[in-house]
Structure 1
Amino acid sequence: MKLSERIKPISYLKANAAEVIAKLAEHQQPMIITVNGEAKAVLQDIDSYEEMQEAIALMKALTLTEQQVKEGGVEPLDEAFRQVRDSYKG
């Protein structure tokens, strides 16, 4: 679906809510809702929204891991395993 087909006024949404929701699910592309000609909201199907939230969570985890590596907050794998083995010997 073209971008121009995905920009609709709020009056269209009010009059065609069921159709809009069906199109969101079918095309899995967000729809931009305008008020007085100005973009005010984005509607998105739930599957795409959940995928986006999972991607954001993964990016946050990767960023945190990268930060911990830069700060020296991680240990080499062999050292980590040695500590685990030593804790069971203990």
Structure 2
Amino acid sequence: MKSQVKPISYLKSHAAEIVKEISESREPMLITQNGEAKLVIMDVRSYEDYEQTLALLKILALGNREIEQGHFRSACEVFSDLDKEDDR
């Protein structure tokens, strides 16, 4: 995904156009102030997708940390316990 880069003055004078463009293209826009990156503007669907991806990455990172700390059970143990539950 390639971001467009625009100065803050463009944001001020073209807000409605920017909303339409970003909503249609789903491409983020980087806003600069004095030549320095200050904001990223994106449509709501892209933001929600980003949030879901971030949440999944956090879950994976937590899982990896648990494994590194030895807080896990082998698949054989889990399936054995499930078989015991089925036998009840």
Partner of 2:30: 32
Deviations 1:46-70 (A, max 9, x none): 1111111111110110111112122
Contact map agreement 2:2 2:28 (CA 8 A) in 1: no
Provide TM-score, normalisation by structure 1. Answer: 0.76
SS in 2 for 1:74: coil
Cα separation, 2, equivalents of 1:29 and 1:2: 7
SS in 2 for 1:33: strand
**1:24: Cα distance to partner?**
0.8
Of 5, 12, 15, the residue aligned with 1:14 is: 12
Identity of aligned residues (%): 41
Partner of 1:66: 64
Counterpart mapping for 1:69-88 below 5 A: 69-80=67-78, 82=81, 85=85
Cα separation, 2, equivalents of 1:32 and 1:68: 37
**Residue 38 of structure 1 aligns to which amino acid in structure 2?**
E
Partner of 2:52: 54
**1:78: Cα distance to partner?**
4.3
User: Which ranges in structure 2 are unaligned for 5 or more consecutive residues?
Assistant: none
Provide TM-score, normalisation by structure 2. Answer: 0.78
**1:36: Cα distance to partner?**
2.2
SS in 1 for 2:71: coil
Cα separation, 1, equivalents of 2:20 and 2:37: 21
Q: Cα 1:2–1:50, aligned 2, differ >3 Å: closer, same or farther? A: closer
Report the aligned-residue RMSD: 2.4
Q: Cα 1:62–1:2, aligned 2, differ >3 Å: closer, same or farther? A: closer
**Residue 70 of structure 2 aligns to which amino acid in structure 1?**
G
